[in-house]
Amino acid sequence: MSRPSAASRTAPTSSTGTASFTVCGDVAEPFTLTVAELRAGWQQHRAEVTFDCATSGPQHHRFEGALLYDVIRAAEPGFDPRRRKDRARFLLAVSGGDGHHTVLSWAEIDQDFSGSPILLATRLDGHGLDTAGSQLVVPTDRCGARYISAITTIWTGACGDLTA
């Protein structure tokens, strides 16, 4: 899979001209979704958030979207769901069309651990993100660094052996 250059500044678009992103990595069912498909295929949740932006100061927004947990579960991550320690070693890397990236742990979104309601936004302040692309929303973060705009890829996989 090729990644868009940082210069493109947007999520990839489907044949209908709407933004899309790909869920891939160590999953049984990789897929690509448009924002409209994300809105229609998953229960939508709301989050009123305030976060500090390093360049623009405090930001106040209302997001609507699907839970990241639900979308990634649909891809069937390559772990044994009955084994907590197997789930706890999985990571999610989210890339945006503007070149920004972040990493989350599966434990942040799993109900047996932190259960954070992280969203893949389909609406921002009542406006659809169909053209701009879905946005990662981490309502519990005080800083906006993990709010990734124009998501292009969500990769999931196991953390390797980190011993030296």
Residue with tokens 């980190």: 162
Q: Which pLDDT value is given to residue 120? A: 98
Q: How confident is the chain (164 residues) per 10-residue block, as mean pLDDT?
A: 35 67 97 97 97 87 98 96 92 96 96 96 97 96 93 94 54
78: buried, middle or exposed (CB in 10 Å: 19+, 13-18, 0-12)? middle
Helix (H) or strand (E) holding 88: helix 84-88
Q: Which pLDDT value is given to residue 159? A: 86
Cα atoms in the Cβ-side hemisphere of radius 13 Å centred on 83: 8
> Which two three-digit tokens encode residue 146?
């993990």
Q: Which pLDDT value is given to residue 160? A: 75
| Euclidean distance between CA atoms 125 and 131, whole angstroms | 15
Nearest C-alpha neighbor of 137 from the set 89, 94, 90, 98? 94
Q: Are strands 135-137 and 119-124 parallel, antiparallel or unpaired?
A: antiparallel
Ordered domains of the chain (ranges, CATH): 12-158 (3.90.420.10)
- Whether the full predicted model's pTM is greater than 0.85, yes or no, is yes
Q: Which pLDDT value is given to residue 29? A: 96
Q: Which pLDDT value is given to residue 163? A: 55
Q: Which pLDDT value is given to residue 56? A: 84
| Euclidean distance between CA atoms 111 and 109, whole angstroms | 6
Nearest C-alpha neighbor of 87 from the set 97, 77, 98, 74? 77
